[in-house]
A and B are shown apart, each in its own frame.
Chain A
Amino acid sequence: MARIDSAAPKTGDVAGTGGPLRWLDSQKNRLIVLTVLAFLAMFLPLISSNYVLEVMTTAWFYVMLCLGLNIVVGYAGLLDLGYAAFFAVGAYTTGILTSHFGVNFWLTIPAAVLFSICAGVIIGGPTLRLRSDYLAIVTLGFGEIVRIIARNLEITGGASGLIGIEKPSIFGFELNQIFHFYYVFLILACLACFVSYRLQHSRLGRAWQYVREDEDAAEAMGIDRVAVKLYAYVIGAIFGGVAGCFFAAKMTAISPETFMFQQSVLILLGVVLGGMGKIPGVIVGAFALVLFPEVFRDLGSSRILVFAIVMLVIMLYRPKGIWPEKKS
């Protein structure tokens, strides 16, 4: 499985993690754990109830979103506070094209990618030249703009949103059961892992790392920092857009309230929680994000408060996340 392979660093000689995770240092133990996890992920629908499947599907969905944001925040070190906007762009593209124009679901994906790229360039283009703080607040504003536009336009269904989005089908086989979507999102998450991993170890990935660590030095080494950041921003946008398409297809209904500021913060928290820039860390973070409120249901609406306190404590005591990337 691509996800598992890509998630495991191919080195047996990494420096010790220390603590309770030390036994994971050996490559053999790592493989055993990953194989068990992979089997669990593959055969979960056979053994679990619909409730568990629903939660796990959401978890894989957040894995994809968090990995997308991780490219922007973790790899390139840019703070994006309006990531839900790209997710909204994808979801509304699919929603509008399928319900108003009767376009096949699979054809809406390229359209969503295109719109996400445009949105990414419009927002990233002017702001990435400036200090990174500006990007944070402009993305925050952008997230609000997209939500307000979705609320006020007729084509997006206004405040009540779009309903009755057609479920997709593959070769005449309609995806309508929860376990269909479980596999769809599992595959998407694997794909996102694979792409993230390849990007991290590409020329571009190394450029992101340089820019993140020292922008001036990176520029002195001949890296075009604006272009490199823009790539990160746009690729992150594409992840969010594609995730949005499938979200719309699964839910069959979308409304502007799904794409509130809190949504962007949640996705960011998933990235920060596990450790920015590290794929297994982000996956753990995304799962924690989805499973925590399910386990502690009594918390209700104050879960964001708990999340925020956790985020503050992590930043103060473990600024690299629970499971940080090892420095070479």
Chain B
Amino acid sequence: MSIQDILLQQLANGLILGSFYALVALGYTMVYGIIKLLNFAHGDLYMIGAFIGFLFLSVLSPLIGDSWVGILCSMVLSMIAVGLLGVLIQRIAYQPMLSAPRLSILITALAVSMILSNAVMAFTDGEYLAFSTDLGYEGLEFGNVFVTYTQMVLVGAAALLMTGLYLFVHRTMYGKAMRAIAIDQDACRLMGIHVNRIIALTFFIGTSLAASAGIMAGAYYGSIHFFMGFVIGLKAFTAAVIGGIGSIPGAMLGGLLLGLLESFGTQIPFIGTEWKDVFSFGILILLLVFKPTGILGRTEIERM
């Protein structure tokens, strides 16, 4: 393979990785934008999404098979289930803490994250589960670069979800309410917006997007594990910061950029795959030093 082919292949890999990052980063950015909470449990909800999707798929596969239809159905079901779980978590753990000091709510979020991942660990004995699907390995060849249909569909599905979200946030009343709450919660209450209901809706959408990424990643990589949400949670946060936290297009852009940076980064001599994580955290730290607001973020002005 020539250099050009390697680069093209990495472009394809980077786009897929980036779609996953972007989907998870969206949830981070939406929740952060609306209640200024860094939801540590977000990566674990991605993991839960994969497991619940796996569960649905095992139930459904005798009926509709474990190919595209089966995966799509279990993905939708899993997104709804995990979205409701996200709302439940918000109601139980975060709602009472909103007026508490920032440190307390961060620790609460951390506790929720630990509960989710360790509960799944207890159920699965910490084993990897094989996420067996029937997606096949056919694909198209572009020059020397081979892209499977699965990869194309994954990127397409991610793009569809993100477009849908963008339209929802910018074209509907609910989206408008979300954006308004992010700016001034008290004023929204005065204007007759059901703030708690919109916050719950935000959690629902954010977590179900993470769940969709979880089940897609499970189907793509073929195995799921209770710890799979930890690193992607960190990466997605990095992606959200790259794009500018609080900005929805920023999260998409940041996710894709990070995915591309990572897959090209592993091709640089001396940065093998084992240094991949160090590479992206290094990017995060450099970014925080030089441009903490990210690419599309706005400078935050604190009012007294």
Contacts and interface: CB of A to CB of B under 8 A. Distances in A.
Interface of A: 73, 77-79, 81, 123, 126-127, 129-130, 132-134, 136-138, 140-142, 144-145, 148-149, 151-152, 216, 261, 265, 268, 272, 276, 301-302, 304-305, 307-309, 311-312, 315-316, 319
Contacts of A136: 38, 40, 106
Given A81-B110, A133-B32, A149-B278, 17 more contacts: A77-B101, A126-B289, A127-B288, A133-B106, A134-B241, A137-B237, A138-B285, A141-B234, A145-B281, A276-B103, A301-B121, A302-B122, A309-B111, A315-B97, A316-B93, A316-B96, A316-B108
Contact of A79 (B103, B114, B284, B302): B103
A327 B66 CA distance: 60
Interface string B34-54: 000010100000000000000
Contacts of A132: 102-103, 106
Contacts of A312: 93, 108, 111-112, 115
12 contacts: A126-B289, A127-B285, A132-B106, A136-B106, A145-B278, A148-B278, A268-B110, A301-B122, A304-B118, A305-B122, A315-B97, A316-B93
Interface string B14-29: 0000000000000000
B250 to A, nearest CB: 16
B281 A133 contact: no
B174 interface: no
Contacts of B103: 73, 77-79, 132, 276
Interface string B72-110: 000000000000000000000100110011111011101
A127 B274 CA distance: 25
A301 B227 CA distance: 14
B126 interface: yes
Given A133-B38, A312-B93, A141 B115 contact: no
Contacts, number: 112
Contacts of A73: 103
Nearest to A129: B292
A315 to B, nearest CB: 4
Nearest to A137: B237
A308 B114 contact: yes
**Most chain B CB atoms below 10 A, which of A137, A152, A216:** A137
A138 B284 contact: yes
B135 interface: no
B230 interface: yes
A301 B126 contact: yes
Contacts of B106: 79, 132-133, 136
B173 interface: no
Contacts of A133: 32, 38, 102, 106
Secondary structure of the A contact surface, majority rule: helix
A301 B40 CA distance: 22
A305 B121 CA distance: 9
A148 B118 contact: no
B295 to A, nearest CB: 16
B277 interface: yes
Given A301-B126, A302-B118, A308 B288 contact: no
Contacts of B230: 261
B68 interface: no
B275 interface: yes
Contact of B115 (A127, A152, A309): A309
Contacts of A319: 97, 100-101, 104
Contact of A145 (B114, B238, B277): B277
A308 B122 contact: no
B111 A315 contact: yes
A152 B274 contact: yes
Nearest to A79: B106
Contacts of A79: 103, 106-107
A282 B302 CA distance: 33
4 tightest A-B CB contacts, nearest first? A308-B114, A305-B118, A312-B111, A141-B281
A268 B103 CA distance: 12
Contacts of B69: none
Contacts of B302: 216
Contacts of B119: 305
A264 to B, nearest CB: 10
A307 B114 CA distance: 9
A302 B119 CA distance: 8
B268 interface: no
A282 B152 CA distance: 53
A126 B288 contact: yes
B190 interface: no
A141 B110 contact: no
B1 interface: no
A6 B32 CA distance: 41
B304 interface: yes
A301 B245 CA distance: 36
**Most chain B CB atoms below 10 A, which of A77, A141, A305:** A141
Contacts of B285: 123, 126-127, 138, 141-142
Interface string B118-129: 110110001000
Nearest to B92: A316
